[in-house]
A and B are shown apart, each in its own frame.
Chain A
Amino acid sequence: MRRVTRHIKGGCRNKAKIPPGSSNKDSSAELDESLLLTENLTTNLFRIKQFLIDCSDIVYREFLFAQREDIRLVMIYTDGLADKSQLSDQIMRALSLELPLSAPQADITRSGAYHLIKERGVCVHQIKETNRLDEIIEAILSGDTVLLVEGNSTAIINGARGWESRSISEPDTEVIVRGPREAFVENLSTNTAMLRRKLKSHLLKIEALRLGRISKTDVVIIYIKGVANEKLVTEVKRRLRKIDLDGILGSGYIEELIEDNPWSPFPQINHTERPDRMAARLLEGRVGIMVDGTPFALTVPNVFIEYLQAPEDYYERFYFATGVRIIRFAALVLSLTAPSLYVAIITFHQEMLPTPLLLSIAAQRESVPYPAIFEVLFMELSFEILREAGIRLPRQIGQAVSIVGALIIGEAAVRAGLVASATVIVVAITGISSFVFFYSASIAIRMLRFPIMMASAALGLFGLISSIIVLVLHLCSLRSFGIPYLSPVAPISVGDMKDVVLRVPWWAMYNRPRLIGWKNPRRLGPEQKPDFPEVKNRGGAGDA
C-alpha cells in the first residue's frame, strides 16, 4: 500500500492504487514519514496537490488569518460536495474578518493561532483533527473541508458537507394504498435518520463500514441489540469485511458477494426501499445493510415467504390480508406453471379437458401451424420483450408500447392464425400473475418458467411435476445466513404459520419468527386482545 504514494501522478479519476483510507488505518504503527503533515504549509499544500493532480474539481482557497497576517490559511474542498455558504460564512468570514473583533490578541503564536481557530474560529458542528495525508485526502473527497494552518502539522477537517440530492419521495417499487409513503433515498445519512425516526431506541445500532477500493462507499450494518442474534451480526460483519472490490455502486453488488448459495437463481437477501418495512424486519430480529448511494436497503436472513408478504398486509385488516395472500400464492403457482400446464395438457393429456373445452381448443388450433410449445414460447418471449421494453423506454412511450403489444399479440396473432386464443389467455394470466409478488423473486420465477416449459413439452405432466420437484429440492437446499430458505414451511414451524398464508391479527402474533428471532422471541405484551368491557357497558355514550 505504501509504495503507492510514489505513484502520485496516477491522477484522481483512475488512481486505483492510492491508499485506501479505511483499510490503511490498521497499519498506523508503521506509518511512513511521507504520509504525515509537516509544519510547512507550502510543502503540505504541494504534497496534497501532488495527490490530487488533474482533479479539477478540487478547490484550494488561500487566505490570511485575521489576527496575524503572516499566518496563511488554506481551505481545500471538493467543488459540489461542500456546502459553500457554510464555508464562506462559518470559516472564511469568521477567520479572516470577524475573529479579531471577538478576540483581539496581538502576539499570538502559530500554534496559539491553531488553537484559537479550532476552539473559537471555526463555527462548524463536526470537526476533526488529523496529521495524516491520506485521511486528509479521503476527507476532501468525501465532501469535508480541510483547513491547513501555516506552521502546524495538524489539519482541521470540517464536516460541512452539502450536495445536491433527491428529496424523499414515494416508493416506486413497493407501492401500497394504506401505510407510510416515504422511501429511502440515495443519501445514507438521510436513510439512517429515517430509520432512527421509526425506532427511537438506544438499542438500534448502526455500525459503519467503508467498502470499495476506489468508491470508498459508506456501508452501515443496522440491527436491534437484544433482538438480533449476535452470531448473525458477527457473521454479517465477517462477510462484509471480506469484500474487496474496486467499487460498490449499489446494494446488488454486496448482495452477490455475501450470499450463501451464489449459483442459485433465487435471491437470498431481501431488499426494500421502504423504511417501515425495514424497521419491521429489524424488529423480527433481522440485520439490515444499507449502502450509500442506493435507496435499496438489504435485510438478512431472507426466507422465500417474504416475497409473498407485502407491507400492506400488516396495515390492512387481517381478513383482507389473508385473502390477498392466498391470491398471491395462487399467482405464484400460476406464473410458474400455467404455460407449462397448458402445454402438457394440450399435447399430452387431452383427456383432462372437459369435452366441450377440448373441442373448442381443437377448433382454435385447427389453423395453427406450430406445435403448442412453440406457440407458447413465442408468446412468452414476446411478452417478456414487451415487458422489458416497457421498463427501459421513457415513460411516455411506455404507454404506446403496451398498446401496440396488446394489439399485436392479443388480436393480430390470433386473427392471423399464428396462435390459438386459448394460448393468449394463458400467457396473459401468467404475465399478470408474475407482477403480483415481489419483483426480485418474480425475476427468478420468470426465468425458471422456460426450462419447466421445455420439460413439460418433452414429458408432459411428468416433466412438469419432475421439474417442480427439482425446484422444491433446490429451494430446500438453500439457506440464507443459516436459515432454511423455505422456513417456516419446510421445516415446518407451526407457530410461524401465523404469518405465512394467514396473517393473524396483531394481538395474536405473540412471537417473532422462531428461527430468526429466537433470541428474544416475545414481541407482544400479555392480554393485548382488545376487550374493553367498560365501553361496552356504557353502550354508545361515547357518541355524544
Chain B
Amino acid sequence: MLEDGRISSRQATFLMSTMIIATVVLFVPSITAKYARQDAWLSIIAAILAGLLIARLATTLGLRYPDKSIFEYPEDILGKWPGKLVGLLYVCWFLHLNAEVIREYGSFMVTAFMPETPIIVFILVVVSIAAYATINGLEVFSRANEIFLPLIVGSVIILFILALGQMNFHMLLPMFDAEPEDVLKGAIAPEGWFGEVAVITVLIPYLNKPREAHRVGALAVLTCGGLLLLDAVGIIALFGPNLVEAWLITTLNGARMIIVASFIERLEAVIMIIWVTGGLIKITVFYWAAALGSAQLLKLKDYRPLVVPIGTVLVSLSTLLHPNISDLLQFLTSVWPPYAIIVFEAGLPLLLLTVSLARGIRGARV
C-alpha cells in the first residue's frame, strides 16, 4: 500500500465536511441568490438531495472494490488502458480542481484582506503547507482536521448568532417567489461543490471500516448542507437578495456587519480563520489524492517523491488559469459546475458502476 494510514469513519466524515464547507460557505450564497433570490434555501435543499445521490453513487461504486481507489479499479472494470485513462482523467481533475481552489484561496485573501500583496505569496505559502501535510500522510491531516472542523463549524454558528440582531427575516419573504427552473439553476453551483464528496472514492480503501462509507458520504453532505443553509438564510436576512447577489464574498460582508455592544466589530478575522484552515484542508485532500493517484497509476512504491513536482504544477497552474477574478468567478459560476458534475462527480462513476454491474465483477470483500 502506498499510504499506510488508516482513518476512522468519523475522521473521514470530518475530512469531507471541511473540504466542502471551506469554499461553499464563501461564494455559494451569492451565486445561488443570483438565480433563486430569497428562495436560495430551496436551491440549497435541492442541492443537498442531489449531493446525497452523488455520495451514494460514489460509495456504492467504491464499495464494490473496498481495497482499491478510483485510480485502480477502472482497470478492473474497463480493461488496462481505458482504465488507466480514466484514472489519469481523475488525477488531472483533482489537479485542476485543486488549482482552482488555490486560486480562489489567493484571490480571496487579496481581495478581502491584503490587496497590496501579490497573489503568488499566498499561493506559495498554502501550497507549501499543503505539501507538508501531504508528506505527513492521510492520518496526520485527518487528525489535524479533527481540531479544525469543530473550530470552523463553531465559528459559523457563532457568527450566525451574533449577526441575528441585524437580521430581518422579512427578507426571506415571499417564499416560493422564484421560478422552479431558477431554483434548479441556483442549485447547480452548490451541487458542484457538494459533488466534491466524490473524492470519497479515493478514501474508501483507507477507512478502518469501509462498510460505513455510505454513512460517511451522507453525513458529510448533510453537515455541509446544514451549514450552508444556515449561512445562506442568515446572509439573505441580513442583506436581502438584491445585495447578496451583488457581493463577491457575501459571507465576509455578513461578518463585517456584526456589531455587538459596540465592542465586537468587524469579525472578518473569523472568516479568515475559517477560510484559511478549511481551504488548506481542502487543498491538502486534493493534493494528496492527486499525488496518490499518480503514484498508483505509475505503480510507484511511495507517493512522497511526487509531492514536490505536483506542488510545482499546482502553483503554476493556479497562477496561469485565470487572468483576473472576474474570469475566475465566471468560470466558477457557469463552467465549473456542469463540467465537474457531468463528467467527474456523476458521469464517470455512473459509467463505471454500470459497466461493473453489467460485467458482474467486484473486488475483494472486506
Using a CB–CB distance below 8 Å, which chain A residues touch chain B? 348-349, 351-352, 354, 459-463, 465-466, 469-470, 472-473, 476-477, 484, 486, 489-492
Give the chain A neighbours of B280 by CB distance below 8 A: 466, 469
Q: Contact check, A354 vs B273: say whether CB atoms are below 8 A apart.
A: no
Q: Contact check, A352 vs B144: say whether CB atoms are below 8 A apart.
A: no
Using A352-B266, A466-B125 as known contacts, say yes or no to A473 and B140 having CB atoms under 8 A apart: yes
Q: How far is the CA of A470 from the CA of B129 in the complex (A)?
A: 7
Residue of A with least CB distance to B146? A490
Given A349, A463, A469, A491, which contacts B146 in the complex, CB threshold below 8 Å? A491
Q: Which of B11, B141, B144, B276 has the most CB of A within 10 A?
A: B144
Q: Contact check, B144 vs A476: say whether CB atoms are below 8 A apart.
A: yes
Q: Contact check, A462 vs B129: say whether CB atoms are below 8 A apart.
A: no
Give the chain A neighbours of B141 by CB distance below 8 A: 473, 476
Give the chain B neighbours of A466 by CB distance below 8 A: 125-126, 129, 276, 280
Q: How far is the CA of A256 from the CA of B122 in the complex (A)?
A: 37
Give the chain B neighbours of A465 by CB distance below 8 A: 272-273, 276-277
Interface of A is mostly: helix
Give the chain B neighbours of A472 by CB distance below 8 A: 144, 147-148
A461-B269, A490-B147 given. 8 additional CB < 8 A pairs?
A352-B265, A352-B266, A352-B269, A461-B272, A465-B277, A469-B129, A473-B133, A477-B137
Using A354-B262, A462-B113, A491-B143 as known contacts, say yes or no to A469 and B276 having CB atoms under 8 A apart: yes
Q: Closest Cβ of chain A: how far from B189's Cβ, in Å?
A: 26
Q: Which of B269, B272, B273 has the most CB of A within 10 A?
A: B269
Residue of A with least CB distance to B263? A354
Q: Contact check, A470 vs B132: say whether CB atoms are below 8 A apart.
A: yes
Give the chain A neighbours of B276 by CB distance below 8 A: 462, 465-466, 469
Given A460, A469, A492, which contacts B10 in the complex, CB threshold below 8 Å? A492
Q: How far is the CA of A521 from the CA of B272 in the complex (A)?
A: 42
Q: Contact check, B144 vs A490: say whether CB atoms are below 8 A apart.
A: yes
Q: Contact check, A489 vs B147: say whether CB atoms are below 8 A apart.
A: yes
Counting CB contacts under 8 A, is B76 at the interface?
no
Please list 6 pairs of residues, one from A and one from B, whose beta carbons are closer than 8 Å in the complex, sorted by A's number.
Answer: A351-B266, A473-B144, A476-B144, A476-B147, A491-B8, A491-B146
Residue of B with least CB distance to A349? B269
Q: How far is the CA of A352 from the CA of B137 in the complex (A)?
A: 36
Chain B residue total in the interface (Cβ 8 A): 35
Give the chain A neighbours of B10 by CB distance below 8 A: 492
Residue of B with least CB distance to A357? B263
Q: Closest Cβ of chain A: how far from B112's Cβ, in Å?
A: 11
Q: Contact check, B143 vs A484: say whether CB atoms are below 8 A apart.
A: yes
Q: Which of B114, B140, B272 has the most CB of A within 10 A?
A: B140
Using a CB–CB distance below 8 Å, which chain B residues touch chain A? 8, 10-11, 109, 113-114, 117, 121-122, 125-126, 129, 132-133, 136-137, 140-144, 146-148, 262-263, 265-266, 268-269, 272-273, 276-277, 280
Residue of B with least CB distance to A344? B269
Q: Closest Cβ of chain B: how far from A378's Cβ, in Å?
A: 25
Q: Contact check, B262 vs A486: say whether CB atoms are below 8 A apart.
A: no
Give the chain B neighbours of A349 by CB distance below 8 A: 113, 268-269
Q: Contact check, B266 vs A473: say whether CB atoms are below 8 A apart.
A: no
Residue of A with least CB distance to B133? A473
Q: How far is the CA of A52 from the CA of B269 in the complex (A)?
A: 71
Residue of B with least CB distance to A489? B147
Q: Closest Cβ of chain B: how far from A397's Cβ, in Å?
A: 43
Residue of B with least CB distance to A470? B129
Q: Closest Cβ of chain A: how far from B63's Cβ, in Å?
A: 23
Give the chain A neighbours of B126 by CB distance below 8 A: 466
Given A352, A484, A492, which contacts B268 in the complex, CB threshold below 8 Å? A352
Residue of B with least CB distance to A356? B262
Q: How far is the CA of A461 from the CA of B142 in the complex (A)?
A: 24
Q: How far is the CA of A166 from the CA of B109 in the complex (A)?
A: 60
Residue of B with least CB distance to A345? B269
Give the chain A neighbours of B113 by CB distance below 8 A: 348-349, 460-462
Q: Contact check, B269 vs A477: say whether CB atoms are below 8 A apart.
A: no
Give the chain A neighbours of B132 by CB distance below 8 A: 470, 473
Give the chain A neighbours of B125 by CB distance below 8 A: 459, 462-463, 466
Given B117, B122, B140, B265, which contacts A476 in the complex, CB threshold below 8 Å? B140
Give the chain A neighbours of B137 by CB distance below 8 A: 477
Residue of B with least CB distance to A487? B143
Q: How far is the CA of A349 from the CA of B265 in the complex (A)?
A: 12
Q: Closest Cβ of chain B: how far from A434's Cβ, in Å?
A: 21
